[in-house]
Structure 1
Amino acid sequence: MICGTETKIDRLYPFHFETSDLLLDQAVFIPHLHEMCGMYEEHVAIIGSGPVGLNAANILSQLGYRHVTLFEARSEVGGMLTVATPSFGFPSEASKHLVELLLRPGIEVRLRAKVANEDAFEAIVARYDAILLAIGAQHSLSGGIRGENALKGIFSAHDVLCAQEPVSPKALQGNVTILGGSRTTFDAAFVALEAGARTVRIFFPGSLSDLPLQVWERVSSLRKGALYLHPFTMPISFLGTEDMYVCGVRCRQIRWASPPQERHLTFVPGCGCLYPADAVVVAIDEIPDMSFLPSTFITSGSYGPELQLVGAYMTFLPNVFAAGDVVSNMTSLHEALVQGREVAYRIHTYLRQQAERAGLRALHGTASDV
């Protein structure tokens, strides 16, 4: 039974790119400043080695900073570039070459170096002249749907995409239901289709125009499986077998309600519709792990804690900057590289202003001694 509007996506676009062409497209965001190498002694720490952190480190190194250190919690650099999904439109070989291009000689990399708590973060702040928070989004938000926490076979997007021990492809070879309409949603759909899913149904609370079109096109180019989109439709409960495995999803249409106070989504009255589901992926949204930050950095947001900014890429501490998923969800590699470039130049401006002030203070001190 079809509930609401169902759109079947067949093969629409080819997914074949030359590695050299992909790298050339991004080269404009990776300037070459060789003449400035080795000029500055300030120490810069970058927490997170995804494309934002990598490009920031690359540009700071080229601007002349000799002491740039990347802190990466995982065993390899690259962040989402190391995950085989269509998020950024890069096949694995092109991603590998891009990481090699960004990771310039002289940049120190500390792998398996998770900043675990507030004390560890404050130690970095005390040691380094500038710090960039470029951490990715590692935690999946819950859908708050009946049966979500009780049934087996219900996974988070992180379980499917980024976990140290990701979900087995065998678990995604039946009828797969995915909740959400973000870039991560389509990454999970890509993984399920690659695993050989019989069907992949995506339920999301918006319209087709709200979807990240670029990622949608790439996922829909796959020949395996069948991808169905269900706009303005969300589950109200999950059904399970006697041994507590998910076996179905009960859905209802939703619509915008417009009371005088505020506009919000509400379920349309009715009995709903039932779809079979052998696996469910909750990919509503991803949020970064900010548990190591002092409470003064955090403010309360609509979906949980958010980083408190006082300006573009700026926290309330003048030497601590932030960019990437910790600020806003990245929708493309282009956006990630642009943010990495912009925050690198902002850090450079800050450090040079600090150096100029220190020079003036030293000069005035010398003059007063005379």
Structure 2
Amino acid sequence: MIHTRETTSNLTYPLRFEPSDILLDHTSLIPRLRGMSGTYEERIAIIGSGPVGLNAANILTQLGYSHVTLFEARSEVGGMLNVPTPSFGFPLQASKHLIDLLLRPNIEVRLRVKVENEQAFVAIVENYDAVLLAIGAQRSMHGKIRGENALKGVLSAHDVICGEGTEVPKRALQGNVVIIGGGRMTFDAAFMALEAGACVVHILFPSSLENLSLQAWKRVSSLRKGALQLHPFTMPTSILGTEEMDVCGVRCRQTRWASSPEEGRLSFVPGRGCLFTADAVVVAIDEIPDISFLPPTLIISGSYGPELHLLEACMTSLPNVFAAGDVVANMISLHEALVQGREAANRIHAYLRQKTKAQF
């Protein structure tokens, strides 16, 4: 049974087309193959059941694999498809149709199964002929801002949008809300704040507005005219609090490129800066996957911390372990996620067929 999250709010982002119209744009990425059911007996495990993992599982079963298992840490499949936010531009009704289309009856789904450590991961690798890492970005990066970790009312974008069992109450996002950063979930967090009843939402962005998702901005800004305010080349120097350690404001200064945009080095412009009153602060710098359960052989040191070691597209240093989606690079659209799922499925199929051929 597929469980989808319902929203009780009457406020929905303005999409004027029917679910069938939206699905039409994506069905080319979900091929229908005939006459191959049950052809292959190899066992395939997919860790993560967002659109990447779902499409990979769908295509692998159509290619003839009768033992495809999805491992999902949450209580429902679908990942970001179950979140009522504008990042993918997909209303929940269309998402439900898409999940039904992807989740074929012969795919085994194991819900509430989190691969927590290296031992659990190794056990899966040893029991399956191929493993696909399709986990999402489960953690928000810290902004390393004074007051961020000490004050009540400082929230991560991931907890605001995707928290399961620890959902952020709507009252925490009312009044004046400041969102820091221009990560993928920036406008999703703004959407949630406006839906919760925020008076005004300020987005502090370190660079120019051209680097933000214009499509997502249009959807969110149309919810309530004038309630969403963008502040490019502006970032906080500190988050201010009351004697009771509650957030009360954000002190900011203008930013500029210290070298070139390509090198990505920003610095603060000398000056007094400005101050925003805040009842809540959401940190949306960027989202990263939690890969702490992987063995050291699969991890390298990257610019922002540990990263998955890839030899080439979708292929890790272990021959039977593949990767796609946010664990490789943040997916910015549903189309990109479905394409990654399709490519991963084809890579796994080629690997297993070549391995079988080499045995004879």
TM range (shorter): over 0.9
Match of 1:256 in 2: 257
Match of 1:243 in 2: 244
CA distance in 2, matches of 1:243, 1:327: 41
CA distance in 2, matches of 1:137, 1:71: 16
Match of 2:113 in 1: 113
Give the Å deviation of 1:263: 6.2
Match of 1:367 in 2: none
Give the Å deviation of 1:17: 2.2
Match of 2:43 in 1: 43
CA distance in 2, matches of 1:351, 1:133: 16
Q: Is the 8 Å Cα contact of residues 322 and 344 (structure 2) preserved in structure 1?
A: yes
Q: Is the 8 Å Cα contact of residues 15 and 91 (structure 2) preserved in structure 1?
A: no
Rg larger in 1 or in 2?
A: 1
Distance 1:216 1:127, change over 3 A: same
Give the letter for the 1:139 counterpart.
R
Identity over the aligned pairs, expressed in percent? 73
Give the letter for the 1:28 counterpart.
S
What is the count of residue pairs matched by the alignment?
345
Structure 2 counterpart SS, 1:137: coil
Match of 1:26 in 2: 26
Structure 1 counterpart SS, 2:139: strand
Q: Is the 8 Å Cα contact of residues 183 and 287 (structure 2) preserved in structure 1?
A: no
Match of 2:205 in 1: 204
Q: Is the 8 Å Cα contact of residues 248 and 275 (structure 1) preserved in structure 2?
A: yes
Distance 1:225 1:84, change over 3 A: farther
Match of 1:91 in 2: 91
Give the Å deviation of 1:180: 1.2
CA distance in 2, matches of 1:169, 1:242: 24
Distance 1:245 1:224, change over 3 A: farther
Q: Is the 8 Å Cα contact of residues 183 and 215 (structure 1) preserved in structure 2?
A: no
Q: Is the 8 Å Cα contact of residues 193 and 224 (structure 1) preserved in structure 2?
A: no
Q: Is 1:135 equivalent to 2:163 in the alignment?
A: no
Give the letter for the 1:61 counterpart.
T
How big is each residue's C-alpha offset from its partner over 1:12-59, in whole Å with a ceiling of 9 and x where there is no partner?
A: x94222111111111110000022111100000000000000000000
CA distance in 2, matches of 1:264, 1:181: 15
Structure 2 counterpart SS, 1:249: strand
Match of 1:161 in 2: 161
Gaps of at least 5 residues in structure 1 are: 1-12, 360-370
Q: Is the 8 Å Cα contact of residues 196 and 225 (structure 1) preserved in structure 2?
A: no
Give the letter for the 1:111 counterpart.
L
Q: Is 1:268 equivalent to 2:269 in the alignment?
A: yes
Q: TM-score normalised to the size of structure 1?
A: 0.91
Give the Å deviation of 1:225: 6.3
CA distance in 2, matches of 1:107, 1:241: 53
Structure 1 window deviating more from structure 2 (214-223 vs 155-164): it is 214-223
CA distance in 2, matches of 1:182, 1:327: 16
Structure 1 counterpart SS, 2:254: strand
Q: Is the 8 Å Cα contact of residues 184 and 287 (structure 2) preserved in structure 1?
A: no
Give the letter for the 2:66 counterpart.
R
Distance 1:217 1:112, change over 3 A: same
Match of 1:8 in 2: none
Give the Å deviation of 1:169: 0.9
CA distance in 2, matches of 1:253, 1:114: 42
Match of 1:122 in 2: 122
Match of 1:174 in 2: 175
Match of 2:10 in 1: none
CA distance in 1, matches of 2:294, 2:267: 35
CA distance in 2, matches of 1:263, 1:48: 31
Moved over 2 A (4+): 13-17
Gaps of at least 5 residues in structure 2 are: 1-12
Structure 2 counterpart SS, 1:355: helix
Match of 2:307 in 1: 306
CA distance in 2, matches of 1:93, 1:14: 14
Alignment of 1:280-295 (within 5 A): 280-295=281-296
For the aligned residue pairs, the C-alpha RMSD in angstroms reads 1.3
Q: Is the 8 Å Cα contact of residues 47 and 72 (structure 1) preserved in structure 2?
A: yes
How big is each residue's C-alpha offset from its partner over 1:82-140, in whole Å with a ceiling of 9 and x where there is no partner?
A: 11111111111111111111000110000011111101111111111110000000011
Match of 1:297 in 2: 298
CA distance in 2, matches of 1:51, 1:315: 20
Higher helix share: 1
Give the letter for the 1:146 counterpart.
R
Give the letter for the 1:181 counterpart.
G
Match of 2:100 in 1: 100
CA distance in 2, matches of 1:47, 1:327: 14
Structure 1 counterpart SS, 2:319: coil
Structure 1 counterpart SS, 2:131: strand
Match of 2:214 in 1: 213
Give the Å deviation of 1:223: 2.4
How big is each residue's C-alpha offset from its partner over 1:233-253, in whole Å with a ceiling of 9 and x where there is no partner?
A: 100001111211001000000
CA distance in 1, matches of 2:258, 2:291: 34
Give the Å deviation of 1:213: 2.1
Structure 2 counterpart SS, 1:112: coil
Structure 2 counterpart SS, 1:105: coil
Give the letter for the 1:185 counterpart.
T
Give the Å deviation of 1:221: 2.4
Alignment of 1:4-23 (within 5 A): 14-23=14-23
How big is each residue's C-alpha offset from its partner over 1:343-364, in whole Å with a ceiling of 9 and x where there is no partner?
A: 10111111110111112xxxxx
Q: Is the 8 Å Cα contact of residues 46 and 71 (structure 1) preserved in structure 2?
A: yes
CA distance in 2, matches of 1:191, 1:225: 16
Q: TM-score normalised to the size of structure 2?
A: 0.94
